[in-house]
């Protein structure tokens, strides 16, 4: 069971969530569990989302605009698709409180620095961040407090950032259950390109390939999609808007990793064509060892799942906590 650092001490009197989907709503749940927020307010692109967030008690007050939401906030978290962060930063610039911390949860960091930093006024501390946690679900109803438990959160502060601010934001994410790592935006984007971005791209592509094949295969591809296809393509249900922005804003690292992946895939193709069983066995064994390392590091569970239905992601999280 993951040990979560809990505190009854309020770290921020007012937190503003700009975007209240899976990550934003989960931050709200985790903040309340840890008792570190005096008040949580927020805004979203649609009034219906704001209304739902208020009904679910994710925020005490909802606003039509991000500019209104950030007023008097000690911590502002951009929980929107990467492509929206720059325009939102420009919108809220004049309303940010001196001394406030501005951060984000985007899966790309160099583009966030490029688009957001120019709009951050003097006296406001900007620390880009990325909690590496999520599910394929979206919307305010999808969030749950355990989402960040035992997961990594990467912070990519600029060189001139006040160390005490980084320490405070580190403590914030630790209170939400995360482990925190500090790195440069460029290194983050390279690492995430292979650990997250390329796998999503492959999942989206293989689902579309299967859908095209199914049209000439008596609809058997989807019908018999248990096992590898089902498990591997789960992430293809993720938010298309978010992932479109990820690939457009991390294109160099993604293309680099895709090139390496293609080279390795070609090597496997040759091994199959020429019957090189030793190469296949060696490659599969190495991959199996790495997969076991991921489980030992606490980033996944080896518990079997044979396609049993799950009523909700929070239930899933509870199951993981028991393991």
Coil, strand, or helix at residue 39? strand
Residue at which a domain ends, from 134, 162, 183: 183
Question: DSSP characters for 82-148?
Answer: HHHHHHHHHHHGGGPPTT-EEEE--S-SHHHHHHHGGGPPTT-EE--EEE----S--SGGG--GGGG
| Whether residues 240 and 134 fall in one domain | no
Residue 319: per-residue pLDDT: 36
- Domains identified in the chain, total number: 2
Do 91 and 154 share a domain, yes or no? yes
pLDDT at 2: 46
pLDDT, mean of each 10-residue run, the chain (323 residues): 59 97 96 96 93 95 95 97 95 97 96 96 97 86 94 95 97 97 96 89 85 65 70 80 89 91 93 93 90 75 55 41 33
Same domain, 23 and 122: yes
Regarding whether 27 and 166 lie in a shared domain, the answer is yes
Coil/strand/helix, residue 12: strand
Shared domain for 127 and 208, answered yes or no, is no
Tell me, yes or no, whether 139 and 219 share the same domain: no
Among 214, 204, 152, which Cα is nearest to 182's?
152
Q: Would 92 be classed as within a structural domain?
A: yes
The reported pLDDT for the residue numbered 236 is 83
Q: Does 317 map to a domain?
A: yes
Q: Which residues of 191-225 are buried (b: 16+ CB within 10 A; e: fewer)?
A: bbbbebbbebbbbbeebeeeeeeeeeeeeebeeeb
φ and ψ at residue 152, rounded to 5 degrees: -85, 145
- Domain holding 36, by residue range, is 12-183
d(CA 20, CA 144): 12
Query: pTM (2 decimals)?
Result: 0.80
User: Is residue 315, in this structure, part of any structural domain at all?
Assistant: yes
Query: Does 23 fall in a domain?
Result: yes
With H, G, I as helix, E, B as strand and everything else as coil, classify residue 219.
Answer: coil
Last residue of a domain, one of 122, 155, 183: 183
Report pLDDT for 220.
Answer: 67
**Confidence at residue 291, expressed as pLDDT on a 0 to 100 scale:** 81
- Which of 149, 183, 217 is where one domain is finished? 183
The torsion defined by the Cα of 83, 86, 90 and 91, in degrees rounded to 10, comes to 30
Residues 26 and 129 reside in one and the same domain: yes
């Amino acid at each position: 069971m993951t040990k979560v650092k809990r505190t009854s001490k309020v770290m921020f009197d007012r937190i503003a969530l700009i975007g209240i989907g899976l990550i934003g709503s989960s931050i709200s749940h985790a903040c309340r569990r840890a008792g570190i927020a005096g008040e949580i307010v927020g805004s979203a692109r649609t009034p219906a989302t704001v209304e739902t967030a208020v009904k679910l008690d994710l925020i005490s007050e909802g606003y039509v605009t991000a500019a209104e939401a950030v007023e008097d906030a000690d911590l502002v978290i951009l929980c929107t698709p990467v492509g929206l962060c720059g325009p939102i930063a420009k919108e809220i610039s004049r309303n940010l409180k001196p001394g406030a911390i501005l951060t984000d949860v985007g899966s790309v960091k160099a583009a966030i620095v490029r688009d957001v930093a120019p709009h951050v006024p003097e006296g406001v501390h900007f620390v880009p961040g990325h909690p590496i946690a999520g599910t394929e679900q979206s919307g305010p109803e999808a969030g749950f407090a355990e989402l960040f438990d035992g997961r990594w959160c990467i912070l990519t502060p600029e060189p001139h950032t006040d160390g005490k601010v980084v320490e405070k934001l580190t403590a914030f994410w630790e209170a939400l259950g995360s482990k925190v790592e500090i790195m440069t935006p460029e290194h983050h984007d390279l690492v995430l390109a292979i650990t997250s971005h390329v796998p999503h791209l492959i999942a989206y592509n293989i689902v579309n390939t299967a859908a095209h094949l199914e049209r000439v295969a008596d609809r058997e591809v989807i019908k018999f999609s248990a096992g590898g296809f089902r498990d591997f393509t789960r992430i293809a249900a993720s938010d298309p808007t978010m992932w479109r922005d990820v690939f457009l804003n991390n294109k160099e690292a993604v293309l680099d990793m895709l090139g390496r992946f293609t080279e390795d895939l070609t090597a496997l193709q040759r091994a199959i064509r020429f019957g090189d069983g030793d190469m296949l066995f060696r490659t599969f064994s190495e991959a199996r060892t790495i997969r076991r390392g991921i489980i030992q590091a606490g980033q996944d569970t080896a518990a079997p799942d044979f396609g049993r239905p799950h009523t909700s992601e929070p239930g899933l999280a509870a199951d993981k906590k028991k393991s």
